[in-house]
Chains A and B, each alone.
Chain A
Amino acid sequence: MTPENLIWIAMLLPLVAIALIFIVGEKSPNIREACTIGIAVALFSVTTRLAGFVFSGGRPSFKMGEILPGFEIAFTVEPLGMLFALVASGLWILTTVYAIGYMRGHHEKNQTRFYACFASAIFAALAAAFAANLFTLFVAYELMTISTYPLVTHHGDEKAKKGGRIYLGILLSTSVAFFMLAIAWTWTVAGTLDFTPGGILAQPNIDGKISDFQLSVLLGLFAFGIGKAAIMPFHRWLPAAMVAPTPVSALLHAVAVVKVGVFSILKVSIYIFGIDLISETRLGEGPNPIMMSDWLCYLAGATILLASLVAMTKDNLKARLAYSTISQLAYITLGAALATTDSVIGGGMHIAMHAVGKITLFFCAGAIYVAAHKTDISDMRGLGRAMPLTMGAFLLATLSIIGLPPGGGAWSKWFLAMGTVQTGHFWLLAALMVSSLLNIAYLIPIPIRAFMTPVGETPMKFKEAPMMCVVPLCITAVGSVVLFFFGNEIYNVLLPIATSTR
């Protein structure tokens, strides 16, 4: 099979899943879930085959057609998107297994709609990952917002309505007011929206059409317009989305949705501006002119610290994880804004590392909820004796999030730190270090207390969540450690995105 065909097959599979889910429906949930898992496995095998081509240097592409003259829906696979697609499709399998355990253990309603929307979010994630131009990326981005709205508001109560309102309100308004404007502006200046190695705004024919200051403003429109990257002050949707059932928070708000955001920012930085353009364009006069993306670097740095601080104040486990996610996403934005080879590779790597780590933490939160009906961290003392597997996995994933070996996150944070040193942003290096300390402060106590605190009057019996929940979270926890040993491979795979010259 040619890689070109693999692209459309990969994107067709989630659509087939949606159709099958609706056809089978509530009549036989077992067949419905079997279809989802079967297709998820098929999708993963397709993406791995595709990855074989892409990582060995191939750039397969596939055109769907033009919507308007000059604006086409087209797909080209490059390493960064491939890595994202691999992560999303691989974790889809595990999340589906987990969701079966969670949704049934919890007797949730409207499960057909749930699985269908899930599959359409995966479709949107793949479309974004493979997008060959900004227009396609934008379409996929908006599709993702809409298809996840029913998932966020799954419970259909007043709280879900409020959460959904913030979710949709922030994501739609930022994307329409800023992102769309930025795309149209790029189009007017460059006359193309195709992702080009080296950056379309760095091409010689752009000279003089846009000033350095305007470039900085355009970068701002992108950074704020891509609200899914949750740069402060447009981060409120992420905690609001936590009203969703936990499998949604796990796959979408640790992997697919948020990663589409930071992935888009990386794509814009690498293929629209070009990292050379970002790092070489200086604003201001004098001996030390500042980089045009400096303000974004510091904003990302501030988001990293502030979100970590807020996370410390949260007693609800999912809320704490949500703020931790905001902080970790800002690492990737920082990588894009620093615009050095190491920093963008670190950012790209962090997409994978953080995804595997954070999905484990969310899985654990859900498992604790299903088995022990606890949502607050203060209630989780001594829980390690009842749920040793879950809490053990939590500990492993925590290491990866903090960036301690043998967690995979150690590598990505290392390369990001290299980026700050290379560009002379020592304050940001300090921020990264402080943030790691904060991560330790708000994550490590959870498993420690769960294991070490003496149990109260009622001794806890061994009571894990259903197998369907526990097995996936153990796999992802082990995965976050395994990734540590593949740091070099991922670096080499991503190297082409940062070294393609204009």
Chain B
Amino acid sequence: MIEQLPVLVIVIPLMAAPLFILIGNRKLVLLLTQLVCWTVFGIAVTLLSRMQDGPISYELGGWPSPYGIVYTVDYLSSFVMLFVSGLGAIVITYAPQSIKKEVHQSKHTLFYASYLLCMTGLLGMCITGDLFNVFVFLEISSLSSYALISLGKTRRAPLAALHYLIIGTVGATFFLIGIGLLYQMTGTLNMADIAARIQPIDHSRTLLVAFAFMTVGLFIKMAVFPLHTWLPNAYTYAPSVVTCFIAATATKVSVYAFIRLIYVIFTPQFAFERLPLDQALMAFSLVGIFVASAAAIYQTNIKRLLAYSSVAQIGYMLLGISMSNVGGLTAGITHMFNHALIKGGLFMVVGCFALRIGSVKLDDLRGAGKTMPLTSFAWVVGGLGLIGLPMTAGFVSKWLLLTSALSLGLWPVAVLMLLSSLLAVVYIWRVVEILYFSPPSHLAQSAKEAPMAMLIPTYVVIGSTIVFGCWTVYSAGIAHAAAQSLLGISQAGGVQ
């Protein structure tokens, strides 16, 4: 049983989704979905806990690699799977009341099925060792997320989903083109196998083109500035629960795929020395951080505000990745985890507001600090994490990034990074002032505190941002191990 876990983590949610549509009973499906999510989370925890014994390789159907599809579980993939499934589980626990309010009853079963499929796709992208498989799972997660977004209450939701679908498909197609070119050059789809075979031919132009297509494709899915235009609308008009889950996980998994692309398939030498991708990444990241943070300041809708903040935060992860040393990579991976918690938690807070106030416009949230004190306080705590104050998770990743930038002598990056975090102070505190210092709007005045069933999961996530700000053995510690194994420092046959 234990050795089948790598495949179960995919098969269970994948099989559950169509089954639940057949069952069709709303309440039963909800319970089963929660059960499946928590089971998957349990498997992810088990997988991560077995990482001391080295990476696990699972051959699907017994076909030996590189002929069959391989699932590889190492520090990085199990770490990403852990927080994807963890947030998936906690968000679905939080979800019922919010879904009841924001999604039409007839669509509930479909909603849960799509949710599971989306999670399957994201987990699959993490675990698979086969490049074409990455594309398949990317499409599973994307298609199901288009469906989830379109379930939003307003009529803008389908439009936002369509916008995302068009741009997202362009991204996925680019990725596929890249895979095609790579396959043409190497004749294999197994990532490790490709990596071994492209060493002798890494001067070829086809390879450069393949790399370029795949990078741009993933940039679109990650919403790297300036390819982020799909994200604000999608996050804003999707049902709150969907935003919580997608904002916390989807872009990070694309970042994960990008890390694999650079550090496993191609090499950092190829990406950062033959190609000037590191400078390009730094430039895009920094510009994106500033532009998106500045845009966040001027939003009047709290979901859109957080959406722009997400675009900015992706920049910090890419900054870390572009440094291509253990410190930077650790910072980037840690920030994936920390930001998933922080942004997931903040969107959960927004979901509570949406439930009780019925609006996510900042004007309607005025004075909610008095009627919804617990929810508002959760915003403050989560917001401090986003700003990166000490003892919060955001600080840990920012500190790692700062020290590794300085150790590389990247002074401008360090200074700009710190200055940009001041913009986060502005947009977070603007909301705090609206919550606590404004005369209440009529919607906020009559609002009740959010139900415990939603507040408790919210506080679990928000509380964990504090826990992982003080105790980093299982966040930065694992990220460090993952970074080391990516750079081949403690393993034989690595790149350095």
Which of A's residues lie within 8 Å of B, judged by CB? 65, 67-68, 71, 138-139, 142-143, 146, 153, 156-158, 160-161, 165, 168-169, 172-173, 176-177, 180-181, 184-185, 187-188
Q: Say yes or no: A138 contacts B390, CB within 8 Å.
A: yes
Residues of chain B within 8 A (CB-CB) of A172 are 387, 422, 425
Which 6 residue pairs are nearest across A and B when measured between Cβ atoms? A139-B390, A161-B437, A188-B406, A184-B402, A142-B390, A173-B422
Partner of B421, one of A71, A146, A176: A176
Task: Tell me the minimal C-beta distance from B287 to chain A in angstroms.
Answer: 19
Are the CB atoms of A187 and B414 closer together than 8 Å? no
Residue of B nearest to A173 (CB): B422
Q: Is the CB of A176 within 8 A of B384?
A: no
C-alpha spacing A254/B100, complex, angstroms: 53
A184→B437 contact, CB < 8 A? no
Q: How far in angstroms is the closest Cβ of chain A from B432? A: 9
Give the residues in chain B near A169, CB-CB below 8 Å.
425
Q: Quick check: B436 and A187 within 8 Å, CB to CB? A: no
What chain A residues lie within 8 Å of B469 (beta carbons)? 67
Across-interface contacts of B495 in A (CB, < 8 A) = none
Residues of B within 8 A of A138 (CB): 390
Q: Closest B residue to A136 by CB, please name it.
A: B390
- Shortest beta-carbon distance from A211 to chain B in Å: 14
> Taking the complex as formed, is B429 at the interface, i.e. its CB lies under 8 A from any CB of chain A?
yes
Extra contacts, 17 of them, besides A146-B384, A184-B402 (Cβ < 8 A), are A67-B396, A68-B472, A143-B390, A143-B391, A153-B436, A157-B437, A165-B429, A168-B425, A172-B422, A176-B388, A176-B421, A176-B422, A177-B419, A184-B399, A188-B403, A188-B406, A188-B407
Q: Which residues of A contact B407 (CB under 8 A)?
A: 188
**Which chain B residue shows the least CB distance to A169?**
B425
Closest B residue to A141 by CB, please name it: B390
- Which A residues are CB-close (under 8 A) to B12? none
Indicate whether A68 sits within 8 Å of B425 (C-beta atoms), given known contacts A143-B391, A146-B389.
no
Which residues B430-484 have CB closer than 8 A to chain A? 433, 436-437, 469-472, 476
Residues on A with C-beta less than 8 A from B400 are 68
State which of B396, B418, B433, B471 has its C-beta within 8 Å of the C-beta of A181.
B418
Do A165 and B396 form a contact, CB below 8 Å, given A180-B418, A184-B414, A188-B407? no
* A139 contact from B387, B391, B415, Cβ within 8 A: B391
Closest to B407 in A: A188
From DSSP, what is the main secondary structure of chain A's interface residues? helix
Q: Smallest distance from the beta carbon of A14 to chain B beta carbons, Å?
A: 16
A141 vs B467: C-alpha distance in the bound complex, in angstroms? 19
Whether the pair B419, A153 counts as a contact (CB closer than 8 A) is no
Q: Collect the chain B residues with CB atoms within 8 Å of residue A156's CB.
A: 436-437
- The CA-CA distance from A173 to B391 in the complex, in Å, is 17
In the bound assembly, the distance between CA atoms of A180 and B419 in angstroms comes to 11
Judged by DSSP, the binding face of B is helix
Bound complex: CA A172 to CA B433 (Å)? 16
Report yes or no: B402 in contact with A180, Cβ–Cβ below 8 A.
yes
Give complex CA distance A156, B425 in Å.
20
Complexed CA–CA distance, A71 and B400 (Å): 11
- Could you write out 9 A-B pairs with CB less than 8 Å apart? A65-B471, A68-B399, A71-B399, A165-B433, A169-B425, A176-B387, A176-B388, A181-B415, A184-B414
> Given the complex, which residues of A lie within 8 Å of B422, measured CB to CB?
172-173, 176-177
Whether B414 pairs with A181 at a CB distance below 8 angstroms is yes
Q: How far is the CA of A271 from the CA of B415 in the complex (A)?
A: 25
Q: Find the residue from A139, A161, A169, A184 having the highest chain B CB count within 10 A.
A: A184
**How far apart are the CA atoms of A86 and B283 in the complex, in Å?**
50
Distance in Å: Cβ of B138 to nearest Cβ of chain A: 33
Q: Which of A143, A146, A156, A181 has the most CB of B within 10 A?
A: A181
In the complex, chain B residues whose CB is within 8 Å of the CB of A153: 436-437
Which of chain B's residues has its CB closest to A186's CB?
A: B406
Residues of A within 8 A of B419 (CB): 177
Asked if A68 and B389 make an inter-chain contact with CB atoms under 8 angstroms apart, the answer reads: no
Pick from A68, A153, A160, A172 the residue with the most CB of B within 10 Å. A68
A143 cross-chain contacts in B, Cβ below 8 A: 390-391
Inter-subunit contact B390/A168 (CB<8 Å): no
- For the complex formed, measure the closest distance between the CB of B481 and the CB atoms of chain A, giving whole angstroms: 12
**What is the bound-complex CA distance between A153 and B380, given in angstroms?**
15
Q: Which of B390, B391, B406 has the most CB of A within 10 A?
A: B390
Closest Cβ–Cβ distance, residue A142 to chain B (whole Å): 5
Nearest chain A CB to B410 CB, angstrom units: 11
List the A side residues contacting B425 at CB < 8 Å: 168-169, 172-173, 176
**B403 x A184 contact (CB < 8 A):** yes
Cβ–Cβ < 8 Å partners of A68 in chain B: 396, 399-400, 472, 476
Contacts of B388 in A (CB 8 A): 176
- Residues of A within 8 Å of B433, CB to CB, are 161, 165
- Minimum C-beta distance from A117 to chain B (A): 13
Complexed CA–CA distance, A157 and B437 (Å)? 6
Q: How far is the CA of A173 from the CA of B476 in the complex (A)?
A: 26
* Docked CA distance A168–B426 (Å): 10
A181→B402 contact, CB < 8 A: yes
For the complex, give the distance between the alpha carbons of A68 and B403 in Å: 12
Q: Which residues of A contact B406 (CB under 8 A)?
A: 184-185, 187-188
Inter-chain contacts of B403 with A (CB < 8 A): 184, 187-188
> Closest Cβ of chain B: how far from A125's Cβ, in Å?
16
Q: Would you give the shortest CB distance from A203 to chain B, in whole angstroms? A: 19
Supposing A176-B421, A177-B422, A188-B407 touch, asked if A168 and B402 sit within 8 A by C-beta, the answer is no
A172 nearest in chain B by CB position: B425
